[in-house]
Structure 1
Amino acid sequence: FIARLIFKHRHDIIPRFKAIYTLSTAALLSLGCSLFFFYHGIQAYLNNRRIPFDGNVDAFEPFNQNTNLFYDNYLIVILYIVIQALLSFKLYKHFYFKLFAIFMIMSIGAHFLPFVDQLFNGFSAPQKRWHYLIAFNAAMLMGLYAKYFSTLTIKNYIFSSIVSLGFVFVSAWVYDTYVSWLWFTPIVSLVGLLVLCVKASIYRNKLSYFYYIAIMILATLVADVFIRNQIYFEDHVERANNDYVNASLFNTPLQHQLVSQMNYSKSEDERIDWRVNEQDNTPMYQFFKGTSIYSSIFDHNILDYYYDALKINLQSESVSRYQSTNGRQNINSLFSIKYLMLKDYQDNVPAYFKKVESKGQYQIYENTLNLPSVKVTNHLYDAQKLKTPIDREHAMLDGVIINDKGKSYTDNANNLKNSTDISSKNIDFRDNNQIYLPQSNGSIQIHVPSDLRERYTDFYLTLKIRRGQPDSNYTININNYANQRLYNNSTYKTGVETQLYRTQPDENGNINITLSPNGNYHFKILSLHGENYNKLKRAFKLQQNNHYKDIKNGVKMTLAPHQKGIATVNIPFRDSMIAYVDHKKVKPIKVNYMMTGIPVSENDSNIVIKYRPKYWFTMITISAICIVISVFWCLIKKFKFK
């Protein structure tokens, strides 16, 4: 639009000011018509948690096989005809040809600027998410080139053909990769040359259709090779079929049978911890309340809880997901996770889960200290005064955590780090918590005294680790629990360097930390806490029989006898929730960092929580009004034009 305002066509009949006024009005009305969807999409984006990318970004992309737009790369392949069109200087006298030639040159230049990739990826890591614009500009330029093709001189056509064909053949030679469509390009150029050799313009125009057909055949061949090489390569072919979908890596009848069995044996508000290998969305397609999801956008409170408040370790680091609880018993009970299902080679089982069934390669464990999904308590603790994940777990078991309210939690866990002996092997310690591993078998050993091992069931080890040079993916292995971490410049890195690991000493009383591969790391042991689960056992004995059931667009619960306090429900809090306590409207609050809390008195017995996106009816009303205005505006414009 800006380009068309600057470069006016000789046949333009609308003055610049009127064009701006008309399209600005249309744009505002369009925004109003779509506001019902658009506003909530923006809200979802703003409520997401996306770690700012702090990796190194080069000023320019290197020119190689992956960035060569005109040969066999992984992203997009533009026909060599585009190069011919750009070199056909005679055609620049045509307004739209020149316009799209400029756009094409700008697109090619932008393709080699990582900043543009960041711009189209929300100013995050460089990602190629905008190349449909290159495809659009190339398609328009080739269409206009075909339109004016018959007016080209033979000399200019031969020059542009030699340059463009030379470019793709040199690319094939340099990359040592030959694709089948390469041998058809000289035929296309030859067909074009033969057409231009016809003197009579009337015959030349008719014979041009043979050139168009040749280009279409070439485009089909390029698309076929691209699909075969870049989409349906061996791994994709193996997985793009019914056999894979019904395999143990994704979805099987046995999995469905076991999930149905667990669903039947638990209450509606209890959860199941089960995911198929790396399929974080298993709960969605196997239909159960689970503990994992993968999505580009979901509410930030969940990730705040995982990354910051409780430091739940994700075994395979990646943004836009949460998964399981790293075997932490307190969290499992707080979220009413009744069953855990693992494959037989997996063993990260929480302390008080007992095996109840084994079928095929699957093991099912039941939580023997599970807590109800709803709890009423008058013990309020201030979130700002809790400093460690284990104290936060204990405070949630003893009461409820609220932002800037309540009292200080005083029963804090002791840091046992100074009560242990720490030694290392094949590690060179340097200043400022920097270490160097000359070999991949370097390790740090924490020896836990026998009196501590007898007192505590589990230990929570908090480490701060960042990969140095050479930058690469790396693994933190703690007593055979392997945590896969991403390299510093990775697009999918979470940016959370402080990690908490639930572990137990081995038979010799040691917690062994190994890092691989070799190289430099920033490494610091922050704390070691012990957990004997006495607070969980106490909460289990004092539990109230409070549960919720799903209703349309919300949940409903009936409370057992209780005191005045906060009813805590272990579902994620959203700003636009509405609660009705015995039919009286009450505003829910965020508690326990991500859960939902409702103030109740001792006489309240029923709670209904409903959710409706913010400004729901307001946006519907605005969109409806704008649709009516748009219809009348278009009719008025049409009448004036006639």
Structure 2
Amino acid sequence: MIDKLKSGIYAARHLMLIIFLSVLSHFYVLWRFIMPDERREKVFMTGANDGLEQMLPMQLYLYEQFREGTWFYDMDFGLGGDFYTDLAYYYSTNIIYYINILFVRAGELLVGLDPSTIGFWAQNAFFISILKSFLIIYFTYRFLCSIGVRPIPAILGGFIFAASPTYFRFTVFWSFFSDVFIWLPLTLWAMELLMRKGKPGLFIFAVAATLINNFYFAYYQLIIALVYLGIRLLFNRRGDLPRVETLKLAIPSAVLGAGISAAAFFHAVRGFLNNDDREYEVEVPLFEEFGWQDNIFYENYLVIILFLAIQALFTRQLYGRYFYRLFSVLTIVFMLFTLSPYIDTFFNGFQQPQKRWHYMLVFFHGALIAQYLSHFREIGVRQYLLSLIPVYAIMAASIHFKEEMVVWVPLIPVIHVAGLVLLLAKSKRRQAAFIYAALIVIFTMMVSASHTNTQIYHDGITDRNHLFYISSNHYESDRQAYNINEIQSLKAPEQKIDYKVREQDNTPMYMGFSGTSIYSSIIDGNIIDFYYNQLKVNIRYESISRYSTFQSRSNLFSLFNVDYMMRRDETYGIPSKFSPILSDGTYTVYENEAPLPFIRYASEIYHPDDLMHPLHRERAMLQGVVTGSAAPTASLDPPKNRLDEVDVETQNAEYTDGILEVGEDGGGLNFNFDAITGMPEDSDAYIEMHVELIEPEKRFTINVDGYPNERLFASSKYRTYADDLLYRVELQDDVPITLPEGRYAVDVQGVYIEDYSVLEQESMRQAPEYTFEERPNAYVVELAEPRAGIASVPILYRDGMKVSGDASGELESFRANYLMTGFETGEEDRIITFTYTPPYYWLTLAISLLSILASLFYLHFFGAGSRHTQKENRQKNA
């Protein structure tokens, strides 16, 4: 009884220490928030790029969707789509996020929290990060204790992992990335329980949680789990279960864990597979070009290996211990991995190289340091002193190479002296050990704070991640919000607003309106195909992760019911059919003069294979419906290529055999349209051309009559490789297309004229009277009178979209007009309802529930340990 009481007291102390260290690890970021800098701005723990552009808007958006009871589909998600599937990479299936929003919802109900602003979610990041740090340290502590590390060194190992520069870089820029810091130690702890005690319960949970939380990092976890399991089976140690018995437990446990995750993991993978499959076409070198920022021991931008790990690696005395050897080898191997981009490619699913696996190296070196500290008193003084030689050699070389001493370097000899005193101490060893441990904590914090200050909280970040910025016209000002509310009062529920704040493509998410833009790593491949291939909508900023607006093309705005637009007064490129209706001197609101009804009945059906050009496809969508799901009933003449009527001349450039050489001050091509006459005043010209920069490799801008099209450098990981471009310009005498100095492959493929007569005709056509209503998980169109026929609505079609009529029941639905939902109504259908559930969702949910039941059944027989362990326990009790 007394032993249990003592054990409980020690466990409580350890828990309190973990809580304290979880908060302490955030000292620097909390200080930068609580104690503003000289500009008196409170710096949020959120990156100004992806943090403010993706992470916070998505957290706010998903919270509001879930609170309203909308679970899968939203017309306001960009052009519309399945946010459950597409945002599974981020938060829609994220366990940590769900825990967070439970707290947020409770706070909203109990103490009046207001989670409707980005400022709230920016401050919420501190709370959730501290919670994550607690879990990271706790699970690391439990794992390390399970392999024989003493409790305090185990906690220090967890602290080194949780307070690492890698953790804060992941958390600040991509908060969901750092969730993997939780699942790695949990998985390894679960594996040790399974391999040594025959208890599979935690392993089932770890597998399920990892797969549910993030499918992308589940791939990383699968790799390291297989490596760890393989090593532990190959080099079995005393006390482990027999290899066959381990596999008999591990395989069904992994299957059950995967089964539990099915309702989340399956749909996350579907989202990834449905994403655009553009390949990375840049040759990956075998080795990095080593620079000062690639030094993993000093000022690496992502990971810093603490000097204690170097000492541990050079302490031969401790290599007789199994786990010490294991983590030494893993640390050395993963340090070598940092030298090759091939490893980055391998861990990123053989796509473009990404350095997201480094958290594993941080964990291995933290676990090695914990074991080093746990057995510190076993080290001889001579061995200790010899282990310092490589430390100071590496530090001296690093300082020389960087030509700068980092603030934490002077603390290294202080810790070394404290360690020597601890080894030599004959008395007061507890006090010496406490001082040594405290110095290690301080040193870890200094390394993290220094890295955060220089590599994360630099001027480009701190200039923007604060309250003043997110309340300004760079993000969301009162004036912008007021104008959006004015438009909301004018428009019908089904109409969209085309507006985003500068480069903030997720503006609609945090300003709460139905827009046209999105910034996400996972985008339905049909949308990307629509923008880059079928319609060649030229987005201003080239990126595989963004889409926005319709390049001022009136036909597309009308087809997708984008009938209102807001722009700053100096903005270029207002579509031909839009006219100003409101202005406050800074922002102007425009309304579409040629709108189309939300539901459109078509008498003519066109097959997509018969349509050869983007303008050809636009006109077909206006005059009927484009689909491969029904037999075509009409054909359409393609637009005329009028390139031979246009005079194309070079300006400060030479054009020979498809190569455009642009001079020092920039230049390009000038298109003269004098020969094209007799067109309506609001006609547009569409210039189709291939443009590809040959040299030098750089970002460049194609300026098309004032429209700056920003193109990425050739080796960019985010290139679209869509170099066949279509530019819409107002039809005028001269249209210049200019480029910066360089050598380009250029091919002018065509010039087309659009007078919008088809759009005007369709806009004036009498439309069916209807009302539109948005409900949680459903959209309802109620017709004034029933009408039979093939119809389409600009609700983006996804597999799983269902359409039903009040008289006919479920109607056949299909993809129409490349992205829209098409269907055929019966003669008595007056109320049309659209609902969406991800394909196989109910099946995967059933698999998850059955897997939970199967796991409970399985654990009932195996939860107390394997037959091998039970036999040992009986022998001990006897």
Q: Same fold (TM over 0.5)?
A: yes
Separation in 1, partners of 2:764, 2:771 = 16
- The reply on whether 1:347 has 2:572 as its aligned counterpart is yes
Indicate the residue corresponding to 2:236 in structure 1: 8
**3-state SS, counterpart of residue 638 of structure 2:** coil
Quick check: 1:369 aligned with 2:594? Answer: yes
Structure 2 partner of 1:472: 698
| Aligned counterpart in structure 1 of residue 749 of structure 2, from 523, 526, 530 | 526
Aligned residue for 2:726, secondary structure, equals: strand
Which residue in 2 is equivalent to 1:37? 264
Taking the aligned partners of 2:787 and 2:774, their CA distance within structure 1 comes to 25
Evaluate the alpha carbon distance shift between residue 188 and residue 71 of structure 1 in structure 2; reply closer, same or farther with a 3 A threshold.
Answer: same
CA contact (8 A) 2:660 2:668 kept: no
User: What is the CA–CA distance in structure 2 between the aligned matches of 1:261 and 1:122, rounded to whole Å?
Assistant: 47
Instruction: Verify the 8 A CA contact 2:811 2:825 in the aligned structure 1.
Output: no
The residue aligned with 1:417 is 643
1: CA distance, partners of 2:264 / 2:851: 13
Deviates more, 1:456-465 or 1:480-489: 456-465
- Residue of structure 2 in register with 1:270 after alignment: 495
- Answer yes or no: is the 8 Å Cα contact 1:372–1:543 preserved in 2: no
User: Deviation string for 1:486-539 (max 9, x for gaps)?
Assistant: 011001111211111110244xx11211111x2221111111100100000100
Structure 1 residues 310 and 180 mapped into 2: Cα distance closer, same or farther (>3 Å)? same
Of 624, 628, 631, the match for 2:856: 631
Query: For the residues of structure 2 that align with 1:22 and 1:107, how far apart are their CA atoms?
Result: 29
Q: Secondary structure at the match of 2:750?
A: strand
- What is the CA–CA distance in structure 2 between the aligned matches of 1:123 and 1:543, rounded to whole Å? 54
- Are 2:470 and 1:245 equivalent residues in the alignment? yes
Letter in structure 2 aligned against 1:577: M
How far apart, CA to CA, are the structure 2 residues paired with 1:435 and 1:240?
A: 42
AA aligned opposite 2:704 = I
The offset of 1:561, in angstroms, is 5.4
Show the counterpart of 1:284.
509
Worse-superposed segment, 152-161 or 104-113: 152-161
Hey, what's the Cα distance between the residues in 1 that align with 2:238 and 2:676?
91
- CA distance in 1 between partners of 2:465 and 2:735 (Å): 43
How far the C-alpha of 1:11 sits from its partner, in A, is 2.9
Secondary structure of 1:454's counterpart equals coil
Within-5 A mapping of 1:186-265: 186-198=413-425, 207-265=432-490
Question: Match for 1:493 among 705, 715, 719?
Answer: 719
Using the size of structure 2 for normalisation, the TM-score is 0.70
Give the 5 Å matches for 1:392-471. Answer: 392-403=617-628, 405-407=631-633, 409-431=635-657, 433-452=658-677, 454-455=679-680, 457-471=683-697
Report how far residue 173 of structure 1 moved: 2.2
SS in structure 1 opposite 2:411? helix
The offset of 1:223, in angstroms, is 1.2
1:467/1:547 CA distance change after superposition, 3 Å: farther
Secondary structure of 1:550's match? strand
TM superposition shift of 1:603:
4.0
Distance in 1 (alpha carbons) for counterparts of 2:538 and 2:770: 30
Instruction: Supply the distance in 1 between the matched residues of 2:234 and 2:704 (Cα, whole angstroms).
Output: 63
Aligned equivalent of 1:607? 832
Q: How does 1:507-546 map to 2 (within 5 A)?
A: 509-516=733-740, 518-544=741-767, 545-546=769-770
Q: 1:162 aligns with which of 389, 392, 398?
A: 389
Instruction: Considering fraction of residues, name the structure with more helix.
Output: 2
Residues 93-242 of structure 1 aligned to structure 2 (within 5 Å): 93-198=320-425, 207-242=432-467
Corresponding residue SS for 1:501? strand
Q: CA deviation at 1:205?
A: 7.7
Cα distance, 1:332–1:613 mapped onto 2, change above 3 Å: same
How far apart are residue 400 of structure 1 and its match? 0.5
1:571 aligns with 2:795: yes
Give, in whole Å, the separation in 2 of the partners of 1:298 and 1:482: 24
Shift of 1:123: 2.4
C-alpha separation between the residues in 1 aligned to 2:449 and 2:530? 47
Q: In the aligned structure 1, how far is the partner of 2:839 from the partner of 2:530?
A: 23
- The one of 770, 774, 780 equivalent to 1:550 is 774
The answer for unaligned runs of 5 or more in structure 2 is 1-228, 874-878
Task: Tell whether the 8 Å contact from 1:107 to 1:134 is kept in structure 2 after alignment.
Answer: yes
Contact 1:336 1:370 in 2 (8 A): yes
CA distance in 1, matches of 2:664, 2:463: 37
Structure 2: how far apart are the matches of 1:222 and 1:439?
A: 45
Native 8 Å contact 2:685 2:730 kept in 1: yes
Deviation at 1:465, TM superposition (A): 1.0
- Structure 2 distance, partners of 1:296, 1:451, is 43
**Aligned length in residues:** 635
Contact 1:371 1:543 in 2 (8 A): no
1:312 is aligned to 537
Aligned-pair distance for 1:263? 0.8
- RMSD of aligned C-alpha atoms? 1.9
Distance of aligned partners of 1:498 and 1:490 in 2 relative to their CA distance in 1, 3 Å threshold: same
Q: CA 1:314 to 1:637, structure 2 compared with 1: closer, same or farther past 3 Å?
A: same
Aligned mates of 1:634, 1:245 — CA distance in 2: 50
TM-score, normalised with respect to structure 1: 0.95
Q: Distance in 2 between matches of 1:451 and 1:3?
A: 74
- Give the Cα separation in 2 of the matches to 1:203 and 1:7: 40
> Is the contact made by 2:691 and 2:746 (CA closer than 8 Å) also made in structure 1?
yes
Contact preservation (8 Å) 2:773, 2:779:
yes
Paired AA for residue 252 in structure 2: T
Q: Distance in 2 between matches of 1:335 and 1:546?
A: 17
Distance in 2 (alpha carbons) for counterparts of 1:218 and 1:497:
50
Cα drift, residue 543 of structure 1: 4.1
AA of the residue aligned to 1:501: Y
- For 2:549, give the aligned amino acid: S
CA contact (8 A) 2:601 2:791 kept: yes
Cα offset for 1:550? 1.2
The answer on whether the counterparts of 1:343 and 1:361 sit within 8 Å (CA) in structure 2 is yes
Point out the structure with the larger strand share.
1
Q: Distance in 1 between matches of 2:710 and 2:566?
A: 22
Retained in 1: the 8 A contact 2:561–2:595?
yes
Distance 1:177 1:371 in 2: 64
Confirm or deny that 1:294 pairs with 2:522.
no
Cα deviation code 1:454-494 (max 9, x no counterpart): 35710111111111121111111111111100011001111
Q: Kindly tell me: are residues 580 and 59 of structure 1, through their superposed partners in 2, closer, same or farther at Cα, counting changes over 3 Å?
A: same
Deviation at 1:212, TM superposition (A): 2.6
Give 1:79's match in structure 2, choosing from 306, 324, 349: 306
Stretch deviating more after TM superposition (131-140 or 603-612): 603-612
Please tell me whether the aligned partners of residues 354 and 365 of structure 1 are also in contact (alpha carbons under 8 angstroms): yes
Could you tell me whether the CA contact under 8 Å between 2:539 and 2:548 is conserved in 1? yes
Q: Distance in 2 between matches of 1:397 and 1:226?
A: 56
User: Contact conserved, 2:604 with 2:634, CA < 8 A, in 1?
Assistant: no
Deviations 1:280-325 (A, max 9, x none): 1111111111010111113222211111111111101112111111
Structure 2 Cα separation of the partners of residues 542 and 483 of structure 1: 36
Structure 1 residues 149-204: Cα deviation after superposition (integer angstroms, max 9, x where no partner): 22223333222212112212321221123221011111112222233344x5x876
Measure, in 2, the Cα distance between the counterparts of 1:236 and 1:116: 29
Residue 309 of structure 2 aligns with an amino acid whose one-letter code is: V
Q: Secondary structure at the match of 1:180?
A: coil
Q: CA deviation at 1:420?
A: 1.1
Describe the superposition over 1:395-437 as per-residue Cα deviations: whole angstroms up to 9, x where unpaired: 0110000126314532321001111111113323344x23322
2:760 partner letter = K
